[in-house]
Amino acid sequence: MTDPVSTSALPARVVVTGATGKLGRAVVAHLRDRGVDVLAVDRAGGRDPRDVEGEFLLADLTDYGQVVEAFTGGADEHPGRADAVVHLAAIPAPGLLPNAATFANNSAATYNVFAAARAAGIKRVVWASSETVLGLPFDTPPPYAPVDEDYPPRPETTYSLNKALEEEMARHFCRWDPELTMVGLRFSNVMDVEDYAQFPSFDADPRLRRWNLWGYIDARDGAQAVERALAYDRPGAEVFVIANADTVMSRSSAALMAEVYPGVEIRKELGEHETLLSIDKARRLLGYEPRHSWRDHV
Ligand SMILES: NC(=O)c1ccc[n+]([C@@H]2O[C@H](COP(=O)([O-])OP(=O)(O)OC[C@H]3O[C@@H](n4cnc5c(N)ncnc54)[C@H](O)[C@@H]3O)[C@@H](O)[C@H]2O)c1
C-alpha cells in the first residue's frame, strides 16, 4: 500500500466534467471525501439537475462559453474559480454514435476544456484518455506484453483516434505554457462492483476479452488515480495506463498470452494474474496502487 496523498497537495476547488457518468460519479464522491470542493458538471443530470447531490451545473461542453463560465465562477450560484480540472465527459466508447458524431462531441468538448483552462489560468488538468490508444481491439497483436506507454498511440477507431489527438493536443498546450501540468489517464474498461458478477462467464472463452488484454479498472481505483494525478506537480504532459493489478480471468496471464498471442514477446516474469496493461509507470510516478479486485467480490 502506498502513502495516501496529503490533502495539502490537492487543489482546493476542482471542476469535474462527465460528473454523472460511471467514472465521474466515483471520482466526485472520492474527491469530496478527501475534502476537495468539487463543482460537478455534465450535460445529463436527470430530470432536474437539483436532484444531483452536491454542487452541480448542467452544461454542454461543446459550447465554449459554458465551459468558461463553469471554470471561472461565472455561472449564477457557482461563483468559485477552479484551481484544477478533471475532464471525463465524452461519448465513452466506439460504436455508440456514428463516428463523426463521436468525434464532433469529444473533440469539441476536450478542445474547449483545454482552451478554457488555459484562458482561466488553470495550471492542472487531468483528463480521461483511454486504453484504446494501445491498439485495441488487438486484431493486430500488441508489440509486446505487458503493453505500456513506451510505444506511439495505435488508434484503431474514431473514438480512439480522438483520444490520441487529445494526447497530442495536451503536449502542445504544455509547450505553450511551461507552468501547465496535464495528465492523461489511459483508463481500462471501467467497472462498478455490480459488474463483477458477470466476470466468471469470461473464463469459458479466452478470446472473449482479448480485445483489451483481459484488463479492467474498478471505478474506485480509477478515482484514486485521478486524485494522485491531481497531486502530480511536474509541469508538462504525461500519460499513464490505469488498470487494476490483475486480469478479469481465472487462468494465468502467461497461459492467456501463450494461447491467444503465442508470437508476442513477454517482457517480464508475470505474476499469476498480473495485468497485461502495465501500471508500472503509474505506480512509479503517481504512487498509484489498486486497492480493489473483482476476486474480492465474486
Ligand atoms: N467506460 C470505459 O470503459 C472507459 C474506458 C476508458 C476510458 N473511458 C473514458 O472515461 C471517461 C468517462 O467514461 P464513463 O465510462 O464514465 O462514461 P459515461 O458515459 O458513463 O459518462 C460520460 C459522461 O459525459 C457526459 N458528456 C458527454 N458529452 C458531453 C458534453 N458535450 N457536455 C457535457 N457532458 C457530456 C455524459 O452525459 C456522461 O454523463 C470518458 O472520457 C471515456 O472516454 C471510459
C-alpha closest to that of 44 among 90, 5, 78, 77: 90
- Rounded Cα–Cα distance for residues 80 and 96 (Å): 35
Cis peptide preceding 4, ω within 30 of 0: no
pTM over 0.75: yes
Which residues lie below 8 Å from residue 171, measured CB to CB, with a gap of 6+? 237
All three cell numbers of 272, joined, read 499469476
42 CB within 6 A, ligand 1: yes
* Structure confidence by residue, pLDDT tens digits, 223-270: 999 999 999 999 999 999 999 999 999 999 999 999 999 999 999 999
Phi, psi of 39 (to 5 degrees): -100, 110
Q: Determine the distance separating the centroid of ligand 1 and the alpha carbon of 254, expressed in angstroms.
A: 32
- Rounded Cα–Cα distance for residues 208 and 214 (Å): 9
190 CB within 6 A, ligand 1: yes
* Structure confidence by residue, pLDDT tens digits, 66-80: 999 999 999 999 999
Q: Determine the distance separating the centroid of ligand 1 and the alpha carbon of 20, expressed in angstroms.
A: 9
Burial of 176 (0-12, 13-18, 19+ CB in 10 A): exposed
136 CB within 6 A, ligand 1: no
Q: Determine the distance separating the centroid of ligand 1 and the alpha carbon of 294, expressed in angstroms.
A: 22
221 CB within 6 A, ligand 1: no
Q: Which of 9-23, 47-61, 174-188, 229-243 has the lowest mean pLDDT?
A: 47-61
